[in-house]
Each structure stands twice: as structure tokens, then as C-alpha cells.
Chains A and B, each alone.
Chain A
Amino acid sequence: EAGVAQSPRYKIIEKRQSVAFWCNPISGHATLYWYQQILGQGPKLLIQFQNNGVVDDSQLPKDRFSAERLKGVDSTLKIQPAKLEDSAVYLCASSWGGNQPQHFGDGTRLSIL
């Protein structure tokens, strides 16, 4: 089966600019996750979707980050405006359900200048 697809792989922007990431989960997976991983740290859950509804967005900085999952399939994560501390790898993962193995995409490495 095809894995989780993410794009772009790399992105370099200046602070205060906006950026968007795209994720296509494994077909049939109802649960989709966006994580932020800063170098040397573990993944930090930003938002979890169950189909097209939000299950958990408690750690999403809602003043600058937004995410949506259209029709319960693809998802986009946006940052506007970006700050220097947003430099990280943004990982998308999907699973059959909330307590099932998570399958990760290759991630997007974001650098803020």
C-alpha cells in the first residue's frame, strides 16, 4: 500500500511569511495527525483529526497555526505568520484509529530565516 505522502520536503522562508504543508494519508485511515519535531526532541502533537473532525488541538498555537482536513482525507497545515521558533520538522501520520499504529510521512523540514 502507498504510504503517507507529504509535500514539500523542504521549505525555507523568512519570519513573518506564511507557509502551508500538505498531507495525503494512507487510504482508509480515519485518524490523521500533525506533529512538530524540533531537533533533538520527540514529536509534539499539534492536531489530531478523526475523519474530518478535530479530536485534539490543545497544543496548536491557534493564533498562527491552522489545519483542516477536507472530506476526511487530505489535510493542510498552515503557519501565518511564521516565527523563528517554528523551525522544525513537521510530520504527518495516519492510522486506522486513535489507538492503532501510526504511519508517518517523510516530513517537511522548515527553516525560518
Chain B
Amino acid sequence: QQPVQSPQAVILREGEDAVINCSSSKALYSVHWYRQKHGEAPVFLMILLKGGEQKGHDKISASFNEKKQQSSLYLTASQLSYSGTYFCGTVNNAGNNRKLIWGLGTSLAVNP
């Protein structure tokens, strides 16, 4: 039931765009996105709670397709500071014990 992220790794030149996908084999209640820079702890980016919801700040946004059981993270006009590993986390139920299940991560490198 671990979400599957794709691609595993991506290399960009500064200013290019990227899309990271997160798919689940089970129905999704919510999707979380985190970024972890090398040697640092993960940092929360955004959470999507409803099917069809899109959220974003700056040039990083995400969509949530409840029907397809997937979410996508969009990075536009990438900056050097976007480099890191991006993790999606999925919550599969709406019960009291809402457990976040982490994907394996997507490594993103932005070069000058």
C-alpha cells in the first residue's frame, strides 16, 4: 500500500519544469508532499484533502485526482533551491488512526 512515485530521479536546468507523480493502489483520503534537502529534515510543502483540489505556492503546485488515486507535484521555472528529494505521503482512510504512508521519494537536481 506504499504509494509509488515517478520518476525516481530527474535532472533539470534552472528554469525548466518538472512533474512528479504519486500513485496509490488504494482509495485516497489525502495526499501530503514534503521536500528534503541533503543533510536536512523533511519540510512540509502542502496537503491535498479533496478530490480535484489543487494547491500551490510560489511556483510549486499540486493536484489530486481522487478517481485515479494519484497526485502530481508541478515545479515550474525551477530554481537551484528546488533541489532535493520530494516525498509524497498518502492517507488511505478517514478514521481516527490516519496513518501517513511515505513513498520512496524522487530525487530532483537543478543545475545552473
Contacts and interface: CB of A to CB of B under 8 A. Distances in A.
A78 interface: no
Nearest to A100: B47
Interface stretch (A13-21, A69-77, A101-109): A101-109
B60 interface: no
B104 A42 contact: yes
Interface of B is mostly: loop
Interface string B23-53: 0000001101010000011111001010000
Contacts, number: 52
Given A41-B104, A42-B105, A101 B47 contact: yes
B84 interface: no
13 contacts: A41-B104, A42-B103, A42-B105, A43-B42, A45-B99, A55-B97, A56-B97, A98-B91, A99-B47, A102-B44, A103-B44, A105-B41, A107-B41
